[in-house]
Amino acid sequence: MSPPLAFFARTQMDLLYVWDRCTVEGKVIIVILVIFSIFAWSIMATKAVEMRRARRLNRYFDTEFRSQKDVLGIHDRRVNVEGCPLFSVYQAGCQELVSRLRTADAAQRRTRVSLKAMEHVKRTLERAVAQECLRLESGLILLALAVSGSPFLGLLGTVWGVMSAFSGIAQAAAAGGHADLTSMAPGVSGALITTVAGLLVAIPSMFGYNWLVHNLRVLTVELDNFAQELVSRMETEYLSDDDLE
């Protein structure tokens, strides 16, 4: 048998042996940790795909936006880019600006807006950026709970198992039985498996959480910078000349 296969077989036998020696409380905690792990990996995979798609769409939209001579050019073409954070911010700002440019005649638009109207556009953009950040951040709290809670659940199972092992040895000794390392080792090994399970859940979750938070911060900075650039172009093209002085 090759060394990798031998290692895998030995590890599998060890885990099965320790699982058999684990207490009912420890098995319940391990099942809970398995559920935590399933949720954690699902969230990491889903958010990774979502953020990767958002970055790709942001690049495409930013290139298209910079090629427009009129800041409302994309909006007037009734373009819709689902899942693009930059487009969501752009759409919210353009809708607010268009509503401020609207006249009594729906077919006509004013060419200039006041400084007060532009302040409303800025607040709309700030709100749109915040909403997109919250949307991208949704689900990360469950990953944070897996990172912080899994080791403590594992430790709880270990302490509980060790307590049960020592309690059983103490009762056996009190009844006149023989208490030694051989009788104590199975219970202790069964208790330690919960800590291993907790770390196996927490360690990947920690790396995934930090990676997702880093990407979220990058996307947040991109959204803030885009919102500021969008406001600057709107002011240049549509702010009243009296307010520019």
Q: Which pTM was predicted?
A: 0.79
Residue 81: predicted pLDDT: 85
CA–CA separation, 25 vs 28, rounded Å? 5
Residue 72: predicted pLDDT: 87
C-alpha distances (whole Å) from 116 to each of 120, 208, 227 are 7, 44, 18
Structure tokens at 29: 């905690």
Task: Work out the average pLDDT over 62-78.
Answer: 88
Structure tokens at 127: 């709100």
Structure tokens at 50: 């979502």
The residues, ordered by sequence, that sit 6+ positions from 96 with a Cβ below 8 Å of its Cβ are 120, 121, 124, 125
pLDDT in tens, 121-148: 999 999 999 999 999 888 888 899 889 9
